[in-house]
Structure 1
């Protein structure tokens, strides 16, 4: 069996280019990705796609990799987000993603659910975190959600984790894929400004305070290589240095992507 990637977004395109072609799995990298989404119709469309894909994987004996979310909408705004803890989603998006996880787990296909933190990389949707902030900084004014924090994961590291999990044959498990460090949005803006060599006026919108810490203990146990990824207080600077260029706020990957 060979790798199959479903989706047209930046994650799907990255995995098509950088995941080994002999990865014997169907990777579902499509569906609702906006954490503020509330549309029942969009949720129904994703549910239909997940159901159809799971049925095809069950009948074909393929592993289904479902890309879920470790966002606050699923885990809540405080405490520790662990795969083995009882989850009580706090948003329509979070409730929907949990329902999709259960659909996959009960489908009869072998599965691997990855709860992703905020993945950053080249050619992202303009509405996603880094592109949105870069565009605002370049315009001269940036809106900072005061109280918000984001756990960031480079797409190159995500791809490495996925590659290793597939190679190890991990299945029928849910795994957080996160750095374990959540950075205040204000700090992210400062790092982006420094790399771009320009600053912007800041306006602030107070949002409910977020102290959630996404546990990556299971990921670290399964994939010991993550010890070399540089997670911690300096990880933000390494991501900004890798993906953000000074030329007009360019957004490019500046070093080789294959890390395995």
Structure 2
């Protein structure tokens, strides 16, 4: 199968591209120049891939449309600092152009969306839950979903829940906490640590995404990809401390605007349609991420 991965040099995208190559697929890895995209190019090169540089919001996308599946992970991530026009450009305009390029070609587009579209959860969210985005980032992801679901392409949406693991972005909580524990330099803790999340290991997310690429699904399908167990940020911080053998120092900051109190993944539909459930417990996943941080430090 000919597969394009956008955002392939990012945290999740780099793992996904490698897994697709290992599964025997023909993979075109696409990303932009600079920023976090540089971080994982070496891993992609070791897996036998070349990253094609492409700005989805400006460049010619016809070469990408010549594929069976596009796994669309590119975009501007993060709730904090998501209020500028670049968020809409990179998340919505880019998706609109990708869908237009694929119109009438039979190409499946699998969009990586976010649990943030639900707002704060009071119970496990299923895919038919009323959406209530609380940040510009969440609003842009919901708009991108609508572009994919209503466009003239075979569109599938995956709502990822709080992904963590090796190669996690430096701005994300677990990355900051682990580095704080290893370096002894305080990391910011936004809020009181009582926020709950369905923390989901990157390997589980990759497995679900590969299945979404390979499995026949009705166009317009939306699937939650998350661990149904919820854990508070404070509990996760304590687990990191136990695994490191030292408690990471933190500095309490005001809760970030648009940050939700709780995410909670209902994953029955993914189990039915993909035969997928998250299988990695938080302690095991954190141990793997910590090992990656240690190895990276040893390499310098």
**Paired residue for 2:150?**
106
**Paired residue for 1:79?**
122
**Paired residue for 1:170?**
217
* Pair 1:119-2:167 in alignment: no
> Which of 243, 246, 249 is residue 289 of structure 2 equivalent to?
243
Contact 2:161–2:199 at 8 Å: present in 1 too?
yes
CA distance in 2, matches of 1:200, 1:167: 41
Contact 1:63–1:171 at 8 Å: present in 2 too?
no
1:143-175 Cα shifts (integer Å, max 9, x gaps): 333222221111111111122233321242010
CA distance in 1, matches of 2:295, 2:273: 31
Partner SS state of residue 55, structure 1: helix
Contact 2:19–2:206 at 8 Å: present in 1 too?
yes
Judging changes above 3 Å, is the alpha-carbon distance between structure 1 residues 224 and 41 closer, same or farther for their aligned structure 2 residues? closer
Q: Please list, as runs of the form range in 1=range in 2, the aligned pairs for 1:54-69 lying within 5 A after superposition.
A: 54-69=99-114
**Runs (5+) with no aligned partner, structure 2:** 28-67
1:165-205 Cα shifts (integer Å, max 9, x gaps): 33321242010100012211111111111222222344434
Query: Which 10-residue stretch deviates more, 100-109 or 193-202?
Result: 193-202
* Pair 1:198-2:246 in alignment: yes
TM-score (norm: length of structure 2): 0.73
**Paired residue for 1:258?**
none
Judging changes above 3 Å, is the alpha-carbon distance between structure 1 residues 154 and 58 closer, same or farther for their aligned structure 2 residues? same
CA distance in 1, matches of 2:245, 2:252: 22
Partner SS state of residue 95, structure 1: helix
Q: CA deviation at 1:121?
A: 2.3
* CA RMSD in angstroms, aligned pairs only: 2.3
